Structure 1
Amino acid sequence: MSASRTFLSEQDIERLVKSDNADDRAVATHKVCRLMERSDLSEVERAAAQEIIRLLSDDAAELVRRALSVTLRTSGLLPHDVAMKLAQDVHTVAVPVLSHSPAFSDDDLSEIVRSGGPVRQVAIAKRDTLAEIVTSALADCAVEEAIVIACANDNARFSDTGMTQVLDRFGASEVVHNTLVNRKALPVAVTERLIHMVSQNLRDQLMTRHAILPETALKVADATLERATLDMADQTGASRDPAGLARHLVTSGRMTPSLMLRALARGHMGFFEHALAELSGVPHDRTWLMVHDAGQLGLRAIYDRAGLPARMFQTFRIAVDTYHSLSSEQSDLDPVRFQERLIERFLTQVPFAPREDLIYLYERLDRDSKGQRWEKAMTEKGLTQKAA
């Protein structure tokens, strides 16, 4: 330990080894650990330094052990066995190393989450990065505070199963909902499930606060769910994983013709293709050809095979043609402007579709300010009417 002794005075060593005062030993522990951490130690000196650390971890005074934990919380010098020992110590000693120390393996952290209790779970959740094995343990058994902290960290990697478990356990928590919504990325199934939870809450509020009929509440909730699903598609799902989103919606029974039409009118052609592929059972590459390269008959064939309403085909035909024409004419538009132009052009062509398609479309499309202006214009032309 010659390298360390160069920096330590005889008084430091005496305070560390002989002092009966815990405060003195804690100060000496802090200084000794800092010096060892900063020194360029040989292998022999490193081994000797770690023996000193082991002796310090046996000190009867909590203050000394805490000084050791805090000082070496980010150090690679802390031996694995000492880190595990400190992790089982009182909370003031355990938390610093659990929150920061690189001495723990992912398996270590996972086991501590499962057996260590809420304080240790929260400490581990605060680490800068978390592997899937650790977040899975948190998802399975951690308290809500730890879950929220981990979910708020985009460097905490969750598996789809782990994220689903979070929703299974804390699906009623608005704090968890808000935290998940603000993550950079979520599995498509989890995102759509969140949307469904929000719509369920809206339905419950309508039924309890306003005493409306359950059938009416269901209609409002379903409309909210479709709008939210399309908002999600705009932000993440349709652009990142259109196949996954389409598959999930079909599997869960929530793929509707109106959802497909609104997505198409908002420029999500990839999602529309995958929705047709999922509903028809035709592989996506063949579906793509039928939508884009097979003329008028191709789209009609895949549309019918998907089981979509025959009365809405012309409206879908207009949407596809509008997408193609705008893509060829103004391919340099950014996504937001492209979507705006697409909706505007689509709505100008809709009046040439059959009346029943118009009625359905205006009933189901979002009532945003632009939609209201167009509906008013169509009403003035006598092209819309109240649904029967």
Structure 2
Amino acid sequence: MSDVAQRERVRAVARLADEWRLLGRHDPRRREVEAGLTRVLDDPSPSVRLALACELAADPTAPHHLVMALCYDKPAIAAEIAASTPVLIDSELVDLVALSPAAVQCAVALRPCPSAALSAAIAAVGEREACLTLLANRDAAMVKSVFATLLSRFGADRSMLDAIFVRPDAPVTVRHEIVERALAARRAPASGGRAREVEVERLRAEQDHATIALASECPARDAPDLVAHLISRGRLTTALLVRAAASGAFALIEHSLANLAAVSVDRVRAIMGEPGGPAFRALCARAGLPERALQALCVTAEVRREAGPDEAGAAITRALDRYETRAGDQLDDVLALMRRVSSEMSGRSAREPARRARPEPRVRSNYLGAQHGFRSRPPDGKVSA
């Protein structure tokens, strides 16, 4: 087959498509021209069929049977028309994603404003490249379950996690899961014994501080979801609350106590105005905090509210001094926690000027560089120390 004949057939496809568009819907010649376009589907040259796909791709009046046939042609041909044709409905596109190779799936993922149903289909059965393409399409409608599906399928894929994390519509619960996985992967546990316990505690401290940073950045409407997620994962702990108080992240504490005590956030916020008062103690008791944890949270919240925004290290040191005068038992595990938090906050405060002098990109600092801490409420609804 000569290249000249092939180029002539490509030009003939363009002429037929132009003629078909010019003819009125009820013109008897339109049917004949459409039949000619249909015969192009049997042309042995992919270039000729690709020319037909290019002609029909953006046409909302393109014959449905032609579009469907081209969508299941060779990947390059199918991708050309699948990327933009307005003729197909969502259910047809979902089937196309399920039955097509990665190139065609990527084309569908690049469509203008993919619906939530189409995004869900790509996330559920799409190849890795298609899922990355979908995440890069900022016009794609994506509900929470789509992100959860992607995290379940590609939870060990660094590029996928990065792409999910930078999506502005990614749920805070998924972002939290990504942060914790990144930190866990970066810090390999020691072989065993006391060294392993120390390493696990360091990892938990980093995860707590990352949680606090994420909670500080997320919109207020997402805070209840984050707290519910922390409770379900066993990550809402006394240590996290104390670290949040030391960091001045009172919104996280307010939403946590509201969830645990089953009261409104506004009520908790009003009570938090006097963290050492009887109302606050009654609230914490209703939330299931142990008495020693309650004392630690009280003194930390009191001192942190008195301190300035840049005095976290000094504030937690003063809080530790106050707590030590109330804790007579040197084996008090909450006292040990307060000492750890004091050490962490002092170190972070000392390093903060250097961090401000060498700012990192926002996503990197929040995700892989996260250094940010209430151990989880067990099934009986109590918060463990």
Task: Return the offset for 1:363.
Answer: 0.9
Tell me how far 1:197 sits from its aligned partner.
2.0
8 Å Cα contact 1:266/1:342 also seen in 2: no
SS at match of 2:277: helix
Asked if 2 retains the 8 angstrom alpha-carbon contact of 1:54 and 1:82, the reply is no
Aligned residues: 337
Distance 1:91 1:373, change over 3 A: closer
Q: Quote the Cα distance in structure 1 between the aligned partners of 2:246 and 2:18.
A: 63
Distance, in Å, in 2 between the alignment partners of 1:373 and 1:99 is 49
- CA gap 1:201/1:42 in 2 versus in 1, 3 angstroms: same
Could you say if the C-alpha distance between residues 51 and 146 of structure 1 is closer, same or farther in structure 2, counting changes exceeding 3 Å? Answer: farther
User: Quick one: percent identity of the two aligned structures?
Assistant: 24
Partner of 2:98: 114
User: 1:166 offset after TM fit, Å?
Assistant: 1.3
> Kindly tell me: are residues 63 and 213 of structure 1, through their superposed partners in 2, closer, same or farther at Cα, counting changes over 3 Å?
same
Q: Deviations over 1:197-234 (max 9, x none)?
A: 2233234x3447x9994433322322222122222223
SS in 1 for 2:213: helix
Q: What's the counterpart of residue 358 of structure 2?
A: none
TM-score, with length taken from structure 2: 0.74
Q: CA deviation at 1:141?
A: 1.4
Q: 1:117 to 1:313 in 2, by over 3 A?
A: same
| Shift in alpha-carbon separation, 1:288–1:181, aligned structure 2, 3 A | same
Mapped to 1, the partners of 2:304 and 2:19 lie a distance apart of 68
Q: Secondary structure at the match of 2:202?
A: helix
- TM-score (norm. length: structure 1): 0.74
Bigger shift: 278-287 or 145-154? 278-287
Question: Is this contact kept in 2: 1:249–1:255, CA < 8 A?
Answer: yes
Higher relative contact order (CA closer than 8 Å, sequence separation 6+): 2
| Structure 1 Cα separation of the partners of residues 116 and 316 of structure 2 | 46
Whole-angstrom distance in 1 between the partners of 2:293 and 2:275? 20
For 1:239 and 1:304, how far apart are their aligned partners in 2?
Answer: 25
Shift of 1:290: 3.4
Task: Assess if the C-alpha contact under 8 Å between 2:56 and 2:67 holds in 1.
Answer: no
Question: 2:282 maps to which residue?
Answer: 301
Determine if contact 1:56/1:65 at 8 Å carries over to the other structure. no
Q: Is the Cα contact below 8 Å between 1:152 and 1:180 reproduced in 2?
A: no
Instruction: Give 1:252 shift.
Output: 1.3
Aligned mates of 1:96, 1:216 — CA distance in 2: 56
Q: How does 1:1-388 map to 2 (within 5 A)?
A: 21-30=5-14, 33=17, 43-44=25-26, 52=33, 55-59=36-40, 60=43, 61-203=45-187, 205-207=188-190, 213-236=195-218, 239-292=220-273, 296-318=277-299, 320-321=301-302, 340-341=309-310, 343=312, 346-347=315-316, 350=319, 353-355=322-324, 360-364=337-341, 366-367=344-345, 370-372=348-350
Evaluate the alpha carbon distance shift between residue 79 and residue 57 of structure 1 in structure 2; reply closer, same or farther with a 3 A threshold. Answer: same
Measured in 2, the distance between the counterparts of 1:126 and 1:287 equals: 46
How far apart are the structure 1 equivalents of 2:346 and 2:62? 60
What code does the residue aligned with 1:281 have?
A
Rounded Cα–Cα distance in structure 2 between residues aligned with 1:347 and 1:213:
26
- TM-superposed CA distance for 1:98, in Å, is 0.9
Pair 36,216 (structure 1): closer, same or farther in 2 beyond 3 Å: farther
Question: Does the Cα contact within 8 Å between 2:313 and 2:349 map onto a contact in 1?
Answer: no
The residue identity in structure 2 corresponding to 1:223 is A
In 2, Cα distance between equivalents of 1:316 and 1:103: 61
Whichever structure has more helix as a proportion of its residues is: 1
Name the Cα RMSD after superposition.
3.5
- Whether contact under 8 Å (1:207, 1:217) holds in the other structure is yes
Deviations 1:266-304 (A, max 9, x none): 443332112012223344454344334898211111112
Q: Kindly indicate whether the alpha-carbon contact (under 8 Å) linking 1:202 and 1:221 is maintained by their aligned counterparts in 2.
A: no
Alignment deviations for residues 298-357 of structure 1 (CA, whole Å, 9 cap, x no partner): 11111122222433445533554567678xxxxxxxxxxx9x447478457536522267
